[in-house]
Amino acid sequence: MFRPLFKILSPAGSSAKLSIFIFHRVLPAADPLMPFEPSARQFEWMARLLARNFTVLPLREAAQRLMDGTLPAAAAAITFDDGYVDNLEVAWPILQRHGLPGTFFIATAFLDGGRMWNDEIIEAVRLAPSVPLDLKAFGLGQYQVDGVESRIACYSAILGQLKYFEHDRRAQVAQEIGRQSGVPEHCNLMMTSSELRTLRAAGADIGAHTHTHPILECMDDLRAFKEIEEGKLELEAILGDSVQLFAYPNGVPGRDCSERHGEMVRHLGFEAAVTTEPRCSNRSANPYHLSRFTPWDRTPVRFAVRCLMQLRKN
Ligand SMILES: [Zn+2]
């Protein structure tokens, strides 16, 4: 019902705007501890809404047509970050049912049984017994974990503090907190290399997201360059194909990544890169700093209105 409005706010051609959506996980069933990640049931209506209101293109094509001034009205692209196995098992079948293309940005270090530091913390808090969780040894304080709300508040606070720790220290502290709570070392949260090839063979676009998911702005340029390069080369070795798209980890321009990293990405042969600056992109956008936003609303009308408001912003 919103499609005419989307077309007015985002006309075809040289004044077109591109909406790029970010997702991370799509949970098989709702997880009370992760209310920010859509369940399969919620993603089903989101996909239907996107299919009805937008012309969803593969991101590579959308970025090229944005620059060429040939985008259709209400153009959009759908992206997923990090490489969760639920992208293949839950999200992809839903996208396919609705005829929607998707681009998946993979941090290669966590393929084949790895776990990202933030998931280590969430699992540690999930498993922690209902007594105050004492993380004073890590300089992270003490937290109540006697209910779902307090557990969410606890891991959110820890994630907020740990996010800008030095990269190696962050991984080490997260691992130690995980060990303290008995989080198993090996897990199947992320895709295997073979599952990634399956996703590619099914028609998904695969993009790079560095090797170990550092905040690039928090490390020296040589290390940042190597992280971007290693992620690309590893993915290309796994897929036997070139990788042309990149997503900056965390991705807030000026805080997490900068023009310097855009230059590195261009130098490494990528065609386009995406940030997490929450807006739409127009033809004057830098193709190495395309904006994306996370649709977090959990009712279809609010979700659609949020997408319309993004289009009105620029
Ligand atoms: Zn990421």
Closest C-alpha to 134, from 154, 163, 117, 160: 154
Q: How far is CA 62 from CA 67, 87, 92, in A?
A: 9, 21, 19
CA 4–ligand 1 middle distance (angstroms): 33
Rounded average pLDDT over 85-95: 98
Compute the C-alpha angle 39/44/48, nearest 5°.
150
Closest C-alpha to 75, from 38, 1, 21: 21
Structure confidence at residue 270 (pLDDT): 98
- Using CA atoms, how far apart are residues 177 and 158, in angstroms rounded to an integer? 10
Confidence check: pLDDT of 164 > 90: no
* pLDDT 10s digits, 172-228: 999 999 999 999 988 899 999 999 999 999 999 999 999 999 999 999 999 999 999
CA 276–ligand 1 middle distance (angstroms): 10
CA 191–ligand 1 middle distance (angstroms): 14
Structure confidence at residue 186 (pLDDT): 85
Confidence check: pLDDT of 314 > 80: no
Confidence check: pLDDT of 296 > 90: no
CA 83–ligand 1 middle distance (angstroms): 9
* pLDDT 10s digits, 265-274: 999 999 999 9
Structure confidence at residue 181 (pLDDT): 92
Domain range list for the chain: 3-112+188-313, 117-181
CA 1–ligand 1 middle distance (angstroms): 33
Closest C-alpha to 174, from 131, 122, 232: 122
CA 118–ligand 1 middle distance (angstroms): 10
Structure confidence at residue 130 (pLDDT): 85
Confidence category of residue 26, pLDDT binned at 50, 70, 90: very high
Confidence category of residue 143, pLDDT binned at 50, 70, 90: very high
CA 263–ligand 1 middle distance (angstroms): 20
CA 148–ligand 1 middle distance (angstroms): 25
Structure confidence at residue 172 (pLDDT): 96
CB proximity list for 216: less than 8 A, separation 6 or greater: 210, 224, 227, 228, 248, 249, 256, 257, 258, 261
Closest C-alpha to 148, from 38, 31, 30, 42: 31
Structure confidence at residue 151 (pLDDT): 96
CA 210–ligand 1 middle distance (angstroms): 9
- Using CA atoms, how far apart are residues 258 and 248, in angstroms rounded to an integer? 10
CA 311–ligand 1 middle distance (angstroms): 24
CA 135–ligand 1 middle distance (angstroms): 25
CB proximity list for 269: less than 8 A, separation 6 or greater: 232, 242, 244
CA 247–ligand 1 middle distance (angstroms): 8
CA 2–ligand 1 middle distance (angstroms): 31
Structure confidence at residue 145 (pLDDT): 93
CA 127–ligand 1 middle distance (angstroms): 24
Token pair, residue 266, equals 């261009």
* Reported pTM: 0.96
CA 15–ligand 1 middle distance (angstroms): 30
3-state helix, strand and coil shares in percent for the chain, rounded to the nearest 5: 45, 15, 40
CA 283–ligand 1 middle distance (angstroms): 26
CATH architecture for segment(s) 3-112+188-313: Alpha-Beta Barrel (3.20)
CA 301–ligand 1 middle distance (angstroms): 28
Average pLDDT along the chain:
95
CA 285–ligand 1 middle distance (angstroms): 22
CA 215–ligand 1 middle distance (angstroms): 10
- List CB-based neighbours of ion ligand 1 within 5 Å: 81-82, 249
Rounded average pLDDT over 38-45: 97
Structure confidence at residue 2 (pLDDT): 83
CA 130–ligand 1 middle distance (angstroms): 30
